[in-house]
Amino acid sequence: MTGSSSTETELVQRAARGDSDAFGALVQPHLSLFHNGIHRILGNMADTQDALQDALMSMHRDLPKFEGRSRFSSWGYRICLNAALMARRSRVRVHDMERPEPLALGPFDERGHHQGMDHLPEWQVEAQAHDLVEKQELRECLNRALDELPDSHRIVFVLKDLEDWDTEDIARHLQLTPGTVRQRLHRSRVLLQARLRTFVLGGSP
């Protein structure tokens, strides 16, 4: 039986030895975090639930390898993101023949900026953007727009602008160079900024 005074380290040690109650107590406080992280990548409730179950199984299996260099929630969250990426890659392969091409928006100027949008602020998920994301309409629009991005660009945007990861951490996690991460992030922001322009500014497409 897991006591309320059990520390995270104690729960990890007990769960790693096969204590299912300890594992449940360990993951329970973080289930919402894990679920939301996966859902931001997959955008589908059924797929999210499946990926979460896969992630929890991976956590349970790999817990003896957890060295405690980070918080359990951080370690588990990365496992969840990996599970989401694997699920998305499988989904993209299945629907690849039916999926439309990513949104084409050109022309772009020599700096990579979409022409005719210089008056818009650079996409930042802070202040007003944070308030807007809380609205259901924008959430749905953002999910649709994200689904039009290539997987390689979507995950970079999610990790950086929605999950607030450092560029270096994203590069290490995805085995990319920091320059490639910045390039994909910029392209994603430009595409999404144009896609959401109608909602945010009330203009025409």
d(C-alpha 161, C-alpha 125), whole Å: 6
Residues 72 and 140 placed together within one structural domain of the fold: no
Residue 164 lies in a domain: yes
Residue 63 lies in a domain: yes
**What CATH number does residue 80 fall under?**
1.10.1740.10
Residue 178 lies in a domain: yes
Residue 44 lies in a domain: yes
Task: Evaluate the CA torsion angle 63, 85, 171, 27 in order and state its sign.
Answer: negative
The predicted model gives 143-168 an average pLDDT of 83
- Of the residues 73, 95, 117, which one is the last residue of a structural domain? 95
Amino acid at 146: L
Residues 87 and 12 placed together within one structural domain of the fold: yes
Residues 90 and 27 placed together within one structural domain of the fold: yes
- 78 and 173 in contact (C-beta within 8 Å)? yes
What pLDDT does 168 receive?
Answer: 93
What pLDDT does 110 receive?
Answer: 37
What pLDDT does 202 receive?
Answer: 56
d(C-alpha 152, C-alpha 155), whole Å: 6
Does this model's pTM top 0.75?
no
Domain, as residue range, for 166: 127-201
Count of domains forming the chain: 2
198 has a pLDDT exceeding 90? no
- Of the residues 50, 76, 95, which one is the last residue of a structural domain? 95
d(C-alpha 22, C-alpha 179), whole Å: 42
pLDDT band at 22 (very low <50, low <70, confident <90, very high): very high
Residue 103 lies in a domain: no
Strand partners, 108: 114
Alpha helices in the chain (DSSP H): 8-16, 20-27, 31-42, 45-62, 72-95, 127-133, 136-147, 151-157, 167-174, 178-195, 197-201
pLDDT band at 199 (very low <50, low <70, confident <90, very high): low
User: Which residue, among 45, 46, 48, has the nearest Cα to 81 in the 3D structure?
Assistant: 48
d(C-alpha 27, C-alpha 73), whole Å: 8
The more confident residue out of 148 and 111 is 148
**What CATH number does residue 174 fall under?**
1.10.10.10
- Of the residues 72, 95, 118, which one is the last residue of a structural domain? 95
What pLDDT does 170 receive?
Answer: 85
What pLDDT does 6 receive?
Answer: 63
Residues 79 and 29 placed together within one structural domain of the fold: yes
d(C-alpha 205, C-alpha 194), whole Å: 8
